[in-house]
Amino acid sequence: MSAVASLKCQFCWTKDDDCENTIQECNEDIGQLCISSVSEAEWLAFGRKFVYRSCANGQFCQTGYSRATVTPNMYMVTKTYCCDTDMCNSEPFERKS
C-alpha cells in the first residue's frame, strides 16, 4: 500500500499579499483544506489589509465575503477562499472594487 501525499498549502500571515514561499502540510485525516483570507479594515481614516494563508478545518471553512460594521467609518470586510488542491491558496487576491 502506497502512502498518500498530504495536501500542501501556502502558509503566511502578512499585511500585504506578498507571501514568501512557505509550505504547510495539512492533516487530511481531520479534514483540513487550504484557506486564503484577506481582511480590509477601515478605522477612523486608517486603512489596513491583512492576508492569512494556511490549512484550516474544512468543516468550518466557508468561501465568500463577510462584513462587520461598527460605524460608517469603522468596518472590516473579509474575503475567504477554501480549496483542496496543492498550493491552491497561493494566488493573489483581486482587489474588491
Find the radius of gyration of the CA atoms of the chain: 15
Supply the CATH number for residue 57's domain.
2.10.60
Q: Does residue 91 fall inside a structural domain?
A: no
Q: Residue 78's domain spans which residues?
A: 8-83
Q: What is the pLDDT along the chain (97 residues), one digit of tens a residue?
A: 445 679 999 999 988 767 887 999 999 889 999 999 999 998 877 888 899 999 999 998 899 999 999 988 889 999 999 999 999 999 877 644 3
pTM across the whole model: 0.80
DSSP 3-state assignment of 28? helix
Q: How many domains does the chain have?
A: 1
Q: In Å, how far from its chain's centre is CA 36?
A: 2
pLDDT score at 29: 87
Is 96 a domain residue?
A: no
* Residue closest to 61 by CA, chosen among 93, 86, 32, 25: 32
Does a structural domain hold residue 77?
A: yes
Which helix (H) or strand (E) covers residue 63, if one does? none
pLDDT for res 48: 87
